[in-house]
Amino acid sequence: MEQQQSYNRIEPENFHPDYRRAEERYHSAAARLVERELELQARVRSFVEADPVEREDSYMEGHTLIEAEYTRLTEDFSRTQSKAVVEARGKLYKGSGTQYFSEMLARAAATPDEKLPELAKLAAQSGLADLEQAVAVVADQREPAGTSELFRDWVAKDPERQAALERLKGTPKGPQFHARTMGVKPPKARREDLEPTAADYQKAQAEKAAKDAPRTEFFGAVPGPRRQVGRRIA
C-alpha cells in the first residue's frame, strides 16, 4: 500500500541533492537547445533572398528536430525522478507486500489514535516488523504529512528509511515539478520572427562584398550598365 500525500511547494535550497544535481543537468541540456533554437531563427532570417515560404519551411524542419530532442530530454528526466519517488514511497509505505502486511494494516487502521503508540511499542518489542510499519503508516495518514511522531520515530530507526523520506521531502511534486521542467522549453518562432531585419540585410551585403572582394581586386570594379548613344555604345 502506497501513501498518498500532498506536499507543499519546496524551496530550491531544500531540494534533495540527488534531485538538484539531476535538475541542473537537465536545465543545462535544455539551455543548449534554447541556444540552438535562437541560432536557427537567426540562420533562417539570414536567408534574405528566400521568399517567406522557403524560410518558414526551413525553420519548421529545424524546429521539429529541436522539439523532438527536448521531448526526449524531458521524458528521460521525468522518468528518472518518478522512479526515484516510487522507490522511496515503496520503502516507506509498501511493506512486505504480503497478505500478512495487509492484515496488519487493517489491524492498525482499526486501532484508536490513543492506542497506536502502545501497539507500535508492542510490535517493536516483539520484532513484528510488518505490524510496526503498519502502525507507522496509519499514524502518518491520520496526521498532516510529516507531523506524526510515531512515523518519524519509525523512520529514524533505519538509515534507508531516512534516505527515502528525505528524497520524498526534497523532490518537487505536481505543478511545481511541471513548472520547473517546462519553464526551459525552447520557444517556437512566430512568422514575424523569421523576417529578415535591417541588420540581417546589412550583414548579407557585407558578406557578399567580402566574397566579391578578391574578384574586384583582380578584375577591377564591375562596370555599370552600358548605354547606347546614337549608333555607338558608350
pTM over 0.85: no
The dihedrals phi and psi of 232, each to the nearest 5 degrees, come to -115, 135
pLDDT at 228 over 60: no
Q: What is the pLDDT of residue 5?
A: 43
102-115 pLDDT tens trace: 999 999 999 999 99
pLDDT tens for 34-92 read: 999 999 999 999 999 999 999 999 999 999 999 999 999 999 999 999 999 999 999 99
Report the C-alpha gap between 21 and 28 in whole angstroms: 11
CA angle centred on 172, ends 22 and 31, rounded to 5°: 45
Per-residue pLDDT reduced to its tens digit, 169-221 = 999 998 999 999 988 999 999 999 999 999 999 998 898 889 988 888 888 87
Is 171 in contact with 163 (CB distance < 8 Å)?
no
Q: Is the pLDDT of residue 161 over 90?
A: yes
